[in-house]
Amino acid sequence: MSIDCIVAGAGIWGCTVARRLAESGRRVLVLEKRPVVGGNVRCEIDEETGIEIHSYGSHIFHTHIPEVWEFVNRFIKFNGYQHKVLANYEGRIYYLPLGLALINKFFGVELKPGEVADFMADEAHSKAIFDAFFRGYTSKQWGKPPEEIDDSIIKRVPVRSNYDVNYFNDYNQGIPLTGYNSLFERLLDHPNIEVRCNAAVELDGATLKLSGEALPAVPTYYSGPIDALFGYRFGHLPWRTLRFETEKLDVKDYQGTSVVNYTEASVPYTRIHEFKHYHPEDAAVMNSPKTIIMREYSATWRPGDEPYYPVDNTESRELLAKYQAEAAKVPNLTVGGRLGGYKYYDMDKSIESALNLAL
């Protein structure tokens, strides 16, 4: 088909942009460098157990933005899963985030809600919590020795004065009943959308090309790494990456919940995911005599790795500004999404960003 717009990158931002363009009557060519769409929200179904494996780490949809919730519910329905995270410290299990459940168990006290603020204002108490649950975990996540992690971080950690152990405050939460892949399939299921995978775009001067051939000079929405688009001419933007080890176990339930954080620096991985717990409504999955876990390791990004978390510092902000200035010179080009914007968007914020674009 002839095209009016190009969307390069079929993650959640790109697919939302493509759907908006298509519904406005424009013919859209979606180009995705991977063999499949979905970006880092892509999942795979284990044939033996039926368990939906989050290929790039756990993704829980949560939002308090009405427009975003209304938009995604046009395409999928959610199972109402409420995310609760546990922390393993010295072999004992605690509820995160920081609240009455964690504080009372850790210190062996029975605080009331009105007593939490004064208790945590005591430097000895705040330091003990920080050392146990944040120092080691943060050092693994960002690749710094534990002694370089500043104690002042604990002052920015919200403290709940109740027993609410729901990890997110957003009142709309869940996992798609039909799986995350169905969201992308349905977003792109429109007669005005054509999808091509294994199709990485490149920039030659001010001309976007695919396999060496110039693409039409139409409005283009790019959500790949902004530094990659310009051939890293100013250098690589710094990222943290993740490595995963996935294992199928001959037990019905390994850890009793979807995510357990391992907070000690001596434990090499940051957390273990157990995916069957994301679909408590699926009796066949929950009753399977086997389960699938994934250990997650954080590492410094190297060329060829998958970028996950942008490293926000003075140098990276200056480098990003250079690439953004170059992007502004390219006619008809809009750069966005997690990689293009060099921001760690939650899924709802990525959709919100796409919905707010003036197309």
Q: Which residues are catalytic?
A: 156, 160, 240, 271, 296, 344, 346
Distance CA 228, CA 350 (A): 20
Residue 246, helix vs strand vs coil: strand
Q: Is 47 exposed, middle or buried (0-12, 13-18, 19+ CB in 10 A)?
A: exposed
Q: Where are the beta strands (DSSP E) in 197-290?
A: 201-204, 207-210, 213-214, 220-222, 239-249, 259-262, 271-274
Pick from 111, 128, 131: which is nearest to 119 by CA? Answer: 111
CB 159 within 8 A of CB 47: no
Task: Check if the beta carbon of residue 137 is closer than 8 Å to that of residue 296.
Answer: no
CB neighbours of 76 closer than 8 A, spacing ≥ 6?
176, 177, 178, 182, 183, 186
d(CA 57, CA 41): 8
Residue 50 gets the label, from left (phi > 0), alpha (psi -120 to 50) or beta, of: left
Q: For residue 70, which amino acid is it? A: E
Tally the residues of the chain: 359
Q: Looking up tokens 């688009």, which residue turns up?
A: 229
Decide if 10 contacts 175 (C-beta within 8 A).
no
Q: What share of the chain is helix, strand, coil (3-state, %, to 5)?
A: 35, 25, 45
- For strand 271-274 and strand 259-262, is the pairing parallel, antiparallel, or unpaired? antiparallel
Q: In angstroms, rounded to a whole number, what is the distance separating the alpha carbons of residues 202 and 230? A: 8
Question: Please, which residues have CB within 8 angstroms of residue 226's CB and are 6 or more apart in sequence?
Answer: 237, 320, 323, 324, 327, 335, 339, 340, 341, 342
